[in-house]
Amino acid sequence: MNEEFDYEYEYDENGEIVYYAIRPNKTQLKKDIAVLFALAEKMSTLTPVQLSRLELPENILKAVLEVSGMPHKGARKRLLKFIAGQLHKIDVDPINEKLARLENRSAHAIREHHIVERWRDRLISGGNEALATLLDEQPEADRQHLRQLIRNAQKEAETNKPPKSSRLIYRYLKQLFNFESEEIEGEINDTE
């Protein structure tokens, strides 16, 4: 997003070439800076571990870490403008790609969490039929262990006790699926 001047030329009355610099479009420059400002704002919400994955230059990384702890006041806005200015000097495409990958991972984690939750609820409410379906899909599952957990979870629900076994089922399913969830999600949707 670096500024580049284009040049036009024409011939004068002596036949010599006269060059004219074409000024960059100010509206486009403002839009570019606004995009970079939004990128800086998005980066300020990331954790230090996530920021390290973006492989930012040292000065930008230091500024982003500093701005993440600041209140939403004038100083924060000035520092975000500084970060946007620094981003304007470098190629931000690799940063945007890495940021998109981070966001995509987060979306997958949420989807996988919902899948495991649905299976857990289905096992607790569906009993043996749901367990049989799960065992068809995941033959390596421990049938006896799952039955015991399901029985305990149903008892806890009946007696209004804390859902310890329900949490244990969730953890077991999370390990069992190992997040190969596209086929599992389709199977859940087909049977519900």
pTM: 0.51
pLDDT tens profile 114-137: 888 999 999 888 878 888 888 888
pLDDT at 189: 41
Averaged pLDDT score across all residues of the chain: 83
Is the pLDDT assigned to residue 146 strictly greater than 80?
yes
**Residue burial 167-183, b: 16+ Cβ < 10 Å; e: rest:** ebbbebbbebbeeebee
Cβ contacts of residue 82 below 8 Å, gap of 6+?
63
pLDDT at 111: 85
Cβ contacts of residue 174 below 8 Å, gap of 6+?
116
pLDDT at 192: 41
15/140 Cα distance (integer angstroms): 85
pLDDT at 23: 74
DSSP code for 162: -
- Selection from 56-60, 104-108, 112-116, 174-178 with the highest mean pLDDT: 56-60
Q: Please, what are the domains in the chain?
A: 6-90 (no CATH), 98-191 (1.10.60.30)
pLDDT at 128: 82
User: Which residue type is seen at 83?
Assistant: I
- Do 43 and 51 contact (CB within 8 A), yes or no? yes
pLDDT at 191: 40
pLDDT at 109: 81
138/149 Cα distance (integer angstroms): 17
Q: State residue 17 phi and psi, 5-degree precision.
A: -85, 130
The mean pLDDT value for 155-179 works out to 86
pLDDT at 79: 94
pLDDT at 13: 81
174/118 Cα distance (integer angstroms): 12
Cα separation values, 75 from 49, 67, 68, 79, Å: 24, 9, 12, 6
- Selection from 11-15, 57-61, 183-187 with the highest mean pLDDT: 57-61
- The pLDDT-based confidence of 179 (bands split at 50, 70, 90) is low
- Do 82 and 63 contact (CB within 8 A), yes or no? yes
* Share above pLDDT 70 across residues of the chain, in percent, rounded to a whole number: 89
- Do 116 and 171 contact (CB within 8 A), yes or no? no
pLDDT tens profile 17-59: 877 767 778 888 889 999 999 999 999 998 888 888 888 999 9
